[in-house]
């Protein structure tokens, strides 16, 4: 289907107060609209999620979301992903807010895990001990050894991400997720009003290209590191996750339990290592050098 893409930013008029004077000028805002993700197999169609997102890379978003939520585990299961124009809209309308993922014939998809996502804001997520237990069943072993990264390389990553954020440069209102290789080369960037949507787009592209698991790569997110972002990286095989802002407590617990490296407050010349210090060059901390307190793992850094 040939559709004009919905815009990812819109023009507005604003009045700016500065030094006691009001000035009218033009500005640009990041677009936020709902996306309905549907699954279809044969004659049966399910609506599995509605999320607020920035239009663009909707197919990647749908694929990444369905992979992270255990609905589609293999790229071969997806026959095609297509935009859908509702019957009450003009065929020549600009874009669409519905995307349909058509599956090959096979077992009916398991959708119980998606109930919490039926309507989601652009910043939502789900956290809880039950989620950790589900991950324990899906990812029974720790992630791969992965790369060991020099601290100087880590400190350069936010600038490389910012330079590639085209829509952020125009609007100042988007989250971003970036994929780097072990040498710090920027491989892909995705932007969205929702931090989890940006990551779904990034990992969805890798899934559709048959590149998972990303066992020799780093992911950098422009905001905080939540549990939901960590679990998406975990199921995609990403061993090293960095965030410009803070992690949540449950994100740190997930990283410790599954052997991820988690870096937060990656800004300027400093950063914090919350888990997996053995992947930071120069830190005297081996994967086995941990202390166990209750059900949590604490790295011992000498």
Catalytic residue among 124, 127, 233, 242: 124
Q: Name the pTM for this structure.
A: 0.84
Residue 18: phi and psi, rounded to 5, are: -150, 125
| Domains of the chain by start residue, with CATH | 151-299 (3.40.140.10)
Which has the closest alpha carbon to 294: 251, 256, 246? 256
Question: Which residues are CB-neighbours of 92 under 8 A, at least 6 positions away?
Answer: none
Q: Tens of pLDDT along 191-219?
A: 999 999 999 999 999 999 999 999 999 99
| Average pLDDT, integer, range 71-91 | 86
pLDDT score recorded for residue 241: 98
pLDDT digit string (tens) for 97-141? 999 999 999 888 888 766 555 444 444 444 455 566 666 666 756
Give the closest residue to 162 by CA, choosing from 115, 220, 110.
220
> Does the structure show a pLDDT above 50 at 4?
yes
Cα–chain center distance at 61: 9
CA angle 280, 285, 288 (to 5 degrees): 120
Mean pLDDT, the chain, rounded, equals 84
127 belongs to the catalytic site: no
Render pLDDT for 257-279 as a digit per residue (tens, 0 to 9): 999 999 999 998 899 999 999 99
- Tens-digit pLDDT profile for residues 41-67: 999 999 999 999 999 999 999 999 999
In sequence order, which ranges of the chain are alpha helices (DSSP H)?
58-68, 129-138, 151-164, 166-171, 195-208, 227-235, 249-258
DSSP string, 138-154: H--SPPP----B-HHHH
Binned at pLDDT 50, 70 and 90, residue 256 comes out as very high
């Amino acid at each position: 289907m040939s559709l004009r893409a919905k815009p990812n930013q819109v023009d507005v008029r604003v009045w700016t107060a500065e030094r006691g004077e009001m000035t009218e000028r033009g500005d640009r805002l990041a677009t936020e609209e709902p996306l309905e993700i549907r699954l279809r197999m044969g004659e049966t169609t399910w609506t599995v999620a509605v999320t607020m997102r920035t239009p663009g890379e909707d197919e990647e978003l749908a694929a990444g979301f369905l992979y992270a939520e255990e609905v589609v585990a293999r790229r071969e299961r997806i026959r095609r992903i297509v935009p859908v124009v509702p019957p009450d809209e003009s065929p020549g309308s600009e874009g669409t807010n519905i995307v349909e993922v058509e599956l090959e014939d096979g077992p009916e998809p398991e959708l119980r895990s998606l109930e919490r996502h039926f309507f989601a804001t652009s910043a939502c997520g789900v956290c809880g001990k039950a989620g950790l237990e589900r991950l324990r069943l899906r990812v029974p072993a720790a992630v791969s050894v992965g790369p060991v990264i020099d601290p100087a390389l880590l400190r350069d990553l936010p600038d490389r991400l910012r330079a590639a954020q085209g829509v952020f440069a125009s609007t100042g209102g988007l989250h971003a997720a970036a994929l780097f290789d072990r040498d710090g080369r920027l491989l892909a960037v995705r932007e969205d009003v929702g931090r989890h949507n940006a990551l779904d787009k990034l990992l969805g592209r890798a899934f559709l290209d048959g590149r998972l698991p990303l066992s020799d790569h780093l992911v950098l997110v422009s905001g905080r590191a939540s549990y939901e972002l960590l679990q998406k990286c975990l199921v995609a095989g990403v061993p090293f996750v960095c965030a410009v802002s803070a992690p949540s407590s449950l994100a740190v617990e997930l990283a410790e339990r599954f052997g991820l490296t988690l870096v937060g407050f990656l800004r300027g010349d400093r950063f914090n290592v919350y888990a997996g210090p053995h992947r930071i060059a120069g830190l005297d901390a081996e994967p086995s050098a941990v202390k166990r307190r209750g059900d949590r793992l604490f790295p011992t850094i000498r």
